[in-house]
Amino acid sequence: MLTEISLTSFRNFENQIFTFEKGLNLIIGPNGSGKTNILEAIGYISQAKSFRRAADKDIITWGKEFFRIEAKLEKDGTKHNISISYELETASKKILVNNKPVEKTSILFSLFPSLISTDRDQDIIDGYPVERRNMINRLISIANPEYMNLMLDYRKVIENKNVLLREQKTKELKPWNQKQDDLSSRIVSYRREFIERMREPFGILSKEFLNNKKADIYFSPSLDGSRSLDELIKEELEAGFSIYGPHRDSIDFLIDERPAKIFGSEGEKRLIILAFYFTFLDIYKPESMVILDEPFSVLDRRGTGIVLSHLLNQTFISAPFIYEGIQKFEKVLNL
């Protein structure tokens, strides 16, 4: 649980301390007041990067030389402090956990996992398949940290293969195809297993979220085991880059058996992703901090109530004002 965060030269906060409670923390304020900036800082403690995909230099308050986030957290009755700073001149990031430097940023995540939902979530459903693969990759990595390494290895193989394909070096391709085949089958089985485990509970929860419509997720791997990469070599050489494998898998969301990307309303799309995230938390990481940036802006009163009734643990929600449906909360931060 996050109890306090202290920001120095972080976005529009030059020097500010905020305290939080267990349960629901609301961050309220007009446009541009810094609500998302605070959520960004909270997310940064867990992920050592901005969920807005902002460059670290852009997070520093304009005209300043560095930013620092200091946080006090509690986990299983033990207090921890974290300090993350980034210096403009050297472009270097320093992370201290309980005053000791840490090299691997993944330590933060394993200590304080977080799940972040923003208004970009609608793009997960609407956008290119890569958006959905990224989302699934993120969740599977939270559940199985070794999956992240598998994906890193896989990306390197694809980069190497792409060079060889571009240069039409047919003979050298074989060992890389072998590597890709091995990694692919492991990645696909992680994905299959994850989606199979999620499907039923997600379907059930989605009916509650979507006022009786049922959402589903559909996974179709690019390599399903029926053909090996060596058999596809001609097509890949013609394309000049790698066109088969998990980096081309397709994942789609359905709403009442129709593609959500075509037929889902804006609110429905956000609710589908929220139902998916909450299902994930239930099964895999119930202790995660949950960060929701403006979840209610596209939701009606029923949707708002449903989301609020499913919150567990510590949640941070931003909103321009306290909506009618929000009745129970532990803390309001008024900017």
Write the DSSP string, 112-146.
Answer: S-EEEE-TTHHHHHHS-HHHHHHHHHHHHHHH-HH
118 binds Mg ion per the rule CB under 5 A: no
CA geometry: angle at 81 spanning 76 and 86, to 5°? 140
> 129 touches which of Mg ion, ligand ATP, none (CB within 5 to 8 A by kind)?
none
Residue from 16, 50, 61, 162 in contact with ligand ATP (CB under 6 A): 61
**CB-based contacts of 28, cutoff 8 Å, min separation 6:** 35, 318, 319, 320, 321, 322, 332, 333, 334, 335
Q: Is residue 14 at the binding interface for ligand ATP, with CB under 6 A as the rule?
A: no
- x/- track of binding to Mg ion for residues 31-70 (CB under 5 A): ----xx----------------------------------
Of 246 and 295, which CB lies nearer to ligand ATP in the complex structure? 295
Count CB-CB contacts under 10 A for residue 196.
Answer: 11
Does residue 137 belong to the site contacting Mg ion (CB under 5 A)? no
Query: With contact defined as beta carbons under 8 Å apart, do 84 and 112 qualify?
Result: no
For residue 99, the minimal CB distance to ligand ATP (Å) is 27
Between residues 11 and 310, which has the closer beta carbon with respect to ligand ATP? 11
Least distance in angstroms from the C-beta of 293 to Mg ion: 6
Q: Would you give the distance in Å from CA 17 to the centre of its chain? A: 26
Q: How many residues bind Mg ion (CB under 5 A)?
A: 2
Is residue 295 involved in binding ligand ATP (CB under 6 A)?
A: no
Q: Does 12 bind ligand ATP (CB under 6 A)?
A: yes
Distances from the Cα of 274 to the Cα of 100, 169, 303, angstroms: 36, 46, 10
**CA angle 106-111-112, nearest 5°?**
95
| Out of 129, 201, 305, 320, the residue judged to bind ligand ATP by CB under 6 A | 320
CB of residue 23 to Mg ion, shortest distance in Å? 22
Distance CA 319, CA 283 (A): 28
Does 29 participate in binding ligand ATP (rule CB under 6 A)? yes
Element containing residue 308 per DSSP (H, E)? helix 301-309
Q: Residues in the site for ligand ATP, rule: CB under 6 A?
A: 11-12, 29, 31-37, 58-62, 320
Residues that bind Mg ion (CB under 5 A): 35-36
